[in-house]
Chain A
Amino acid sequence: MYPDDFYYTKDHEWIQVKEDKATVGITDFAQKQLGDVVYVEMPKVGTQLEFHQSIGVIESVKAVSDIYSPVSGEVIEVNTDLNDSPELVNQDPHGKGWFIRLKIGDETEFEKLMSADDYEKFLEGIEE
């Protein structure tokens, strides 16, 4: 369910690293909690993000939820497909529903994140 090569946060974001760049999205658990996603607000390309800074908002029919940057860095790309098809977040949260790409600022920040195993254990704690 949760890809092994991603890192995860307690706010239910995932981040996948490729060299000095990373892709960020929300987890399957998060999209299920939100329900039907109907609107996404994303940061501008070029925005400098700090660790755990709000990078945007996801709205479902019922709820509004902030998304936080798992690490610091510079926004290099946003998923503009989500403007017209926000439902991609529900359909493919770990793939086509990605949110932003960033240039990683500080690699040591990954030590604060969870592995897939840790995240699944974390979810078990929530669901109990």
Chain B
Amino acid sequence: MKKTRLNSSHKKLGGKMIEFFDWEMPVEFSGIINEHLAVREKAGLFDVSHMGEILIRGRQALDFIQYLTPNDAARLTPKKAQYSALTTPQGTFIDDLLVYCLNPERYLLVVNASNSDKDFEWIFIHREGFDVEVENKSEDYTQLAIQGPRALEILQPLIEINLKEMSPFGSGWGKIEGEEVLVSRTGYTGEDGAEIYTLSSQPEKIWETILERGKNYGLLPVGLGARDTLRLEARLMLYGNDIDETTTVLEAGLGWLVKFEKGEFLGREALLQQKEEGIKRKIVGFEIIERGIARPHYPVFIENSEVSEVTSGTFSPSLEKSIGLTYLPIEYIEVGSEFEIGIRGKRAKARVVPTPFYKRGE
């Protein structure tokens, strides 16, 4: 099993460790609900070093990324990041990712842990004809996330960059505890905050300094358990659950990141055709009206016929309800529309609700 450089720090803190796509990661430290609410109300610190990082550099780095992804990477400047995807010619997902422009000939793609090898291979075979070099840096980077309403005030004194002036999805280089870091105003929780990337051989200095300073603000270390409930409340997609090689970008409700006008890219034709013809199904957020908790793969029924399955589902600590995501035929996606979910052989009523389930400041 692979370990992040913070593995022994997690064990020292009493983290409950699990295997997550071949990585030994903490699922919780003080309890999922406790950690979840700390991020919503104060702040939380995550080790997300299992995420993959792929570096693309060279004269045609931008052209190449434009070809691989549906979002318009030409809008990126050296201090910006962008949410995008690696798409198949069918307009479905190889992965979803963040693209960081380090300089006009150097881009860092941050991809899912479960996909980093597959993504690297995909990118590598498509580089033909582009003057670029592709490097899998996944083992080299430590990635932390500090999230929550107090995240930036905790982090600010530790770094010389002005975080408040950084726009959402902005980024910058600086030093924390003498270690060089790339910091961006991004995250996977629906809260304000930052993600921190470093090649340092001693990232535990950074981890411990933030934990120590955060104590007085109510910051807690947070595991993968709360990361999942936080991202689902914010309706952020999880690869392998909500999106994969069978779901298109449009069906996943991510049409906003497809920039047809930018020119050719993998999947453009298929997505354009699907847009013109209209999608036949779309992802929706739901809550269970009756008792029960929806879990991934539970069957979804409309008028007694099984139409799909739950892609993500959990108990929402912020809303104290059972929430989830599923794909429904397009005629049933309206808010208020009711359907049923099979839970251990019984049917529970569910209703389509507006998403995100949770919005900061509400």
Contact = CB atoms under 8 A, between A and B. Distances in A.
Interface string A4-41: 00000000000000000000000000000001101101
Contacts of A36: 31-34
Main secondary structure of the interface of A (DSSP, over half): strand
Given A35-B31, A36-B33, A39-B315, A61 B295 contact: no
Contacts of B16: 35
Contact of A35 (B225, B291, B295, B322): B225
A35 B28 contact: yes
Contacts of A59: 293, 315
B53 to A, nearest CB: 27
Given A38-B293, A39-B292, A39-B315, A61 B27 contact: no
B344 A61 contact: no
A38 B322 CA distance: 10
A64 interface: yes
Interface size class of B (residues with CB under 8 A): 10 to 19
**A36, A41, A62: which has the most chain B beta carbons within 10 Å?**
A62
Contacts of B315: 38-39, 59, 61
A45 interface: no
**A36, A59, A60, A64: which has the most chain B beta carbons within 10 Å?**
A36
Contacts of B88: none
B314 interface: yes
Contacts of B104: none
Interface size class of A (residues with CB under 8 A): 10 to 19
A123 interface: no
B82 interface: no
B229 interface: yes
Nearest to B226: A61
A61 B291 contact: no
B168 interface: no
A62 B32 contact: yes
Interface string A94-111: 000000000000000000
Contact of B291 (A39, A60, A62, A64): A39
Contacts of B33: 36, 38, 61
A17 to B, nearest CB: 30
B32 A61 contact: yes
Contact of B225 (A39, A57, A62, A64): A62
Contact of A62 (B27, B322, B344): B27
A61 B292 contact: no
Nearest to A86: B315
A87 B56 CA distance: 49
Given A38-B293, A39-B291, A62-B225, A57 B344 contact: yes
Contacts of A35: 16, 28, 31-32, 225
B78 interface: no
Contacts of B314: 61-62
B58 interface: no
Contacts of B31: 35-36
**A35, A41, A57, A61: which has the most chain B beta carbons within 10 Å?**
A61
A35 to B, nearest CB: 6
Contacts of A38: 33, 293, 315
Interface in B13-45: 16, 27-28, 31-34
Contacts of B317: 61
B32 A39 contact: no
Interface in A50-101: 57, 59-62, 64
A40 to B, nearest CB: 10
17 contacts: A35-B16, A35-B31, A35-B32, A35-B225, A36-B33, A39-B292, A39-B315, A59-B293, A59-B315, A60-B32, A61-B32, A61-B229, A61-B314, A61-B315, A61-B317, A62-B32, A62-B314
Query: 6 tightest A-B contacts by CB?
Result: A38-B315, A61-B32, A36-B33, A62-B225, A59-B293, A36-B31
Given A35-B16, A38-B33, 15 more contacts: A35-B32, A35-B225, A36-B33, A36-B34, A38-B293, A38-B315, A39-B315, A39-B322, A41-B291, A57-B344, A59-B315, A61-B33, A62-B27, A62-B225, A64-B293
